[in-house]
Structure 1
Amino acid sequence: MSGTLAHLTLAFGLLGNVVSFMVFLAPIPTFYKVYKKKSTEGFQSAPYVVGLFSAMLWIYYAFLKSNVLLLITINSVGCFIETLYICFFLFYAPKKARMESLKLIVLLIVVGFGLIVVLTQFLASGVTRGVIVGWICLVFSLCVFVAPLGVLRQVIKTKSVEYMPILLSVALTLSAVMWFFYGLLLGDFNIAIPNVLGFTLSVIQVILYFKYKNKKPVFDEKISELEAKSYPISDMEEKKKPQVMDHKTKDVVKHCASTGFDVLPVVTHLEVTGHDASRATFEPKAGPNVPSHIIDVAA
């Protein structure tokens, strides 16, 4: 039984490495856009700085344990990839965004991670140190998994999944499953517990995607309602009706009337281009001794 559990643990750990590697590669299309435009535009560096901090934290935790080698491998790869993303971002970011990113890096990576390492090394020892770092990893992972709640709220509010890519949601779901079972089989609840929340939120994202993928965004509906209120149907129909006559047409009608034509059914068609009547077609009703014909007037 012990051998079977070891093999299962290894299998889930390897699968977790593969899926997590795919998740780390997910931002590549974003950085390709940055490279093409030579600008970071509205993109933020925070997700990549937080990702680097998380990977470093898990590596530190793994070094305090004795049986989580696969946790070290994937987070080492994660540190390398996230560092590349951050360097790429800093290279193309405008000055203001670059300075904000550097402040966040100093605050989170240098000060935050540095304090955790120093305090746990000097204020704790042995198993206690691993427990403290494990709880820090657990709390931080829960905070990271709770972050997408803003996206879920936005999807429900707008009924649009434009900013929630399905492939990333599926990858996060699979990653949470693999690492949950890896932590469970190891008996390490600092790894398993956060991934319960991660799995739940990822499944909700997938469900919302399939629910709203064919829905019309609420924004468009609001615009339609506003237009309907501003322009009642009767008014819109009136606007669609062609303009019957302008001052030139009236002059022609008066001329027709003075020459013996009946002006009642005068204008039957008028094409308006711009602000002028470019071509008006009249079908006057002839008087008793005048034959019916069509007068074609070019403005």
Structure 2
Amino acid sequence: MAGISGHWAFAFGLLGNIVSFIVFLSPIPTFYKIYKKKSTEGYQSIPYVVALFSSMLWIYYALLKTNVTLLITINSFGMFIETIYVGLYLFYAPKKAKVQTAKMLMLFVVAGFGAIVLVSQFLLKGAVRGQVVGWICLIFSLCVFVAPLGIVRQVIKTKSVEYMPLLLSVFLTLSAVMWFFYGLLLKDINIAAPNVLGFIFGILQIVLYAIYSKKEKVVLKEQKLPEIQKPEIIVKDENINSNKQLPELTQEQIIDIVRLAGLLVCTDKVSVATCPQDTTKAVNKVENMPKLQTAVAT
């Protein structure tokens, strides 16, 4: 029975190594962007310093135990890759960020890790040493798993999943599952317990991503809908640009028009007696005029 449990523990530990390997490589796009722009922009170094300290702490704990070799393999890689990340950050960071990163390295890696090693080596003996270091690892891991609460709060507040990549949340959740069963099968509470919290927060991030990503898609779809334009009403004047000619007026029709105009004018004059004479003169003039043909200019 113990042999079967050991085989399962190895299987989960191996899967945990694979998933954690992917998680450790997840910041590569970020550092590629830093390399291309030759600047760290607004990125912070504390996640990489903390990850470096965590890897060192778990390696030290694994060295004090006898059956957790897979913890050494993955955290050795983690310590290696996080050292590269911190080195690149220091190379491209502005002076102020370099000073802050150096202070954190001194606080966590030198002072913190050094104090844990010295105290455990000189003040603790045998199995007690492993238990104390294990509890330190457990407490620190709980703090690391609580850190995503800041991202969760930001997602709820902004209703946006821009700063919470789905793949990273999925891999962190899978990693928590693998290491939980690895610790459970080895009956090591220091490995199993923190990953319960990691699994819960991982599922929470995935659920939030599913909720708010749908809302974002709906908003984007509404923003891309074309505006409904009112149809333009075009009134076309059929008389515009037409070449229709007015009908030809005969001499008799012109005479009638002049007489009618003369009568209308006479009604507004004080002396009406002179009207017929004026009209007759106008008619005589019109009779001697040539025939006219008018047209509307195009």
Structure 1's consecutive aligned runs of 4 or more residues displaced over 3 angstroms after TM superposition are none
Letter in 1 for 2:151: V
Shift of 1:150: 0.7
Letter in 2 for 1:103: K
Deviations 1:66-101 (A, max 9, x none): 000000000000000000000011010011101110
Match of 2:90 in 1: 90
CA RMSD of aligned residues (A): 2.0
Q: Does 1:212 align with 2:223?
A: no
Shift of 1:124: 0.4
Match of 1:234 in 2: none
Match of 2:73 in 1: 73
Match of 2:121 in 1: 121
Match of 2:198 in 1: 198
Aligned length: 224
Instruction: Give distance in 2, aligned partners of 1:47 and 1:150.
Output: 13
Shift of 1:159: 0.9
Match of 2:160 in 1: 160
Instruction: Give distance in 2, aligned partners of 1:58 and 1:145.
Output: 15
Deviations 1:206-230 (A, max 9, x none): 000001003249xx9xxxxxxxxxx
Match of 1:262 in 2: none
Match of 2:101 in 1: 101
Match of 1:11 in 2: 11
Gaps of 5+ in 1: 221-299
Secondary structure at 2:215 match in 1: coil
Rg (Cα) greater in structure: 2
Letter in 2 for 1:85: Y
Instruction: Give the structure-1-normalised TM-score.
Output: 0.72
Deviations 1:143-188 (A, max 9, x none): 0000000100111111100000000000000000000000000000
Secondary structure at 1:176 match in 2: helix
Letter in 2 for 1:175: S
Which residues of 2 match residues 284-295 of structure 1 at below 5 A?
none
Match of 1:169 in 2: 169
Letter in 1 for 2:185: L
Which residues of 2 match residues 145-156 of structure 1 at below 5 A?
145-156=145-156
Which residues of 2 match residues 126-145 of structure 1 at below 5 A?
126-145=126-145
Instruction: Give distance in 1, aligned partners of 2:95 and 2:152.
Output: 32
Letter in 1 for 2:169: S
Q: When you count strand as a share of all residues, which structure comes out higher?
A: 1
Q: Does 1:26 align with 2:26?
A: yes
Letter in 2 for 1:128: V
Letter in 2 for 1:69: T
Instruction: Give distance in 2, aligned partners of 1:152 and 1:208.
Output: 8
Instruction: Give distance in 1, aligned partners of 2:113 and 2:5.
Output: 34
Letter in 2 for 1:105: L
Instruction: Give the structure-2-normalised TM-score.
Output: 0.72
